[in-house]
Amino acid sequence: MRYTEFASTLVENIDQPGNLDKPTVVAALAKAGYTGEKVKESGNKLFVLVDIPEGENKNAYRASILDSILGDLQKLLPKSGPRKVKAQGLGSLGGIMFNNSPIAVGVKDAKVQGGGSSGKANEENLRSLIQILIMEYGSINLTFVDKAGKKLGIKNCTDVVDASMAVQDRQKADLVFKSSSGQLPISLKQVSADQWESADSLFGAKAKQILEKLIKDKVIQLQKLVDDNGRKYFKLSKEIVIEPTQEETMNAIFGSDLLGKGGVVVQTFAEHNFTYNENNIIVSCDYVIKTKEDIPTSHLMVWLIRNNEERNNPLPGLRTLGVTLTRGIGTKGNKDVVLVDKDGNVLKS
């Protein structure tokens, strides 16, 4: 019996009120065409991973897939009452839940899951290429150079290590290039990247204080909502952009391991970014950031408080991030946000 036939039999036999379990939903998804690596399990949640075509609106595309899956599940599991809900853990678009069952189904972009994320792929592409060149030459002289001529490099590099998981003590390096005489830690940012760090824990308490001040001063409104699971959360009337202190900026961008030792490289690496002269490798970048003075205006760091139903800090439904200035106020500086100084005093409304 083929798997799809087995799935169909299993669905028909188990679709009874109060009888729904994860294997049944997995089988229903398989019958609808979502199998194997296309479905990611996380506890009682099942996420269908979709490849979003270039140029498509990501949320609109995911929403259309979710609606399609809902239609399939309503046909395959009618007695279980599949319905679309807004609930924590199912993403900003919500997901599908069933009567008297903890099982839920959501849709995610396959490109941003774990090691498949675009940022991680960018790091891995660079690391793999450098390792191949080291294997070929034994050692390489590596130089990152940006369009303004700023350079960052290491001579006689014999190894490159993935350091992206070493985040203790606010370390920021994604890759560490090593030689017999030292090492070069590098944080990599794609050209399109607009976030420096997630800051619910780091800045959450201060963000909450500023939030309370702006509510008291009637600068913003905070709406109390309840999702389909009865969870209470909040929604801001406008995003809030907060000027950071210099210390906060330096910590968010350079962490504890980059300043004076390495730096930030901004580039989405492609073949044309690499120039070879035997073991001398030059990598062209948009920006090389080694010091405070190197930070381009577009990449200045600001704190952002925005709506995100999934988060619980500083209040349920809100999220705090360290983002680039262009993400915070828009590329032309005219984004409709509440802009405040480090103490919560309004600079622009």
CA–CA gap between residue 264 and residue 312 (Å, rounded): 30
**pLDDT band (50, 70, 90) for residue 314:** low
3-state DSSP helix/strand/coil % of the chain, to nearest 5: 30, 30, 35
Q: Specify the range with the lowest mean pLDDT, choosing from 44-53, 116-125, 306-315, 339-348.
A: 116-125
Q: φ, ψ for residue 25 (rounded to 5)?
A: -70, -40
Q: Is the pLDDT of residue 300 over 80?
A: yes
Decide the pairing of beta strands 338-340 and 240-242.
Answer: parallel
| Cβ pair 10, 19 in contact under 8 A | no
Q: What is the mean pLDDT of the chain?
A: 86
- What is the predicted pLDDT for the residue at 14? 44
Helical segments of the chain, H only: 3-14, 22-31, 58-76, 118-137, 204-216, 246-254, 325-329
The position carrying tokens 């002269």 is 277
Report how far Cα 99 is from the mean position of its chain's Cα atoms.
32
Provide mean pLDDT across the span 290-310. Answer: 91
The position carrying tokens 């991973």 is 49
Joined tokens for residue 66: 């979710």
Cα dihedral sign, 160-164-169-171 = positive
User: H or E stretch including 175?
Assistant: strand 175-179
CA–CA gap between residue 202 and residue 293 (Å, rounded): 24
Q: Is the pLDDT of residue 17 over 70?
A: no
End-to-end CA distance of the chain: 65
| Per-position DSSP letters for 74-125, written without gaps between them | HHHSGGG--EEE--TTS-TT-EEE-TT---EEEEEEGGGSGGGSHHHHHHHH
**pLDDT band (50, 70, 90) for residue 6:** very low
CA–CA gap between residue 223 and residue 236 (Å, rounded): 6
- Answer with the residue of higher pLDDT: 339 or 309: 339
Q: φ, ψ for residue 131 (rounded to 5)?
A: -65, -40
Q: φ, ψ for residue 123 (rounded to 5)?
A: -60, -45
**pLDDT band (50, 70, 90) for residue 118:** low
Provide mean pLDDT across the span 201-228. Answer: 87
Provide mean pLDDT across the span 150-156. Answer: 97
- What is the predicted pLDDT for the residue at 20? 83
Q: Is the pLDDT of residue 204 over 80?
A: no
| Cβ pair 144, 273 in contact under 8 A | no
Question: What is the torsion angle, in degrees rounded to the nearest 10, for the CA atoms of residue 222, residue 225, residue 230 and residue 231?
Answer: -30
**pLDDT band (50, 70, 90) for residue 13:** very low
- What is the predicted pLDDT for the residue at 119? 64
Q: How far is CA 212 from CA 18, 47, 215, 309, 342, in A?
A: 44, 36, 5, 19, 14
Q: Is the pLDDT of residue 9 over 50?
A: no
Joined tokens for residue 337: 């946000």
Identity at 131, one-letter amino acid code: Q
Report how far Cα 304 is from the mean position of its chain's Cα atoms.
15
pLDDT by residue (tens digit) across 39-93? 888 888 899 988 888 777 888 888 899 999 999 999 999 999 999 988 777 777 8
Provide mean pLDDT across the span 236-253. Answer: 93
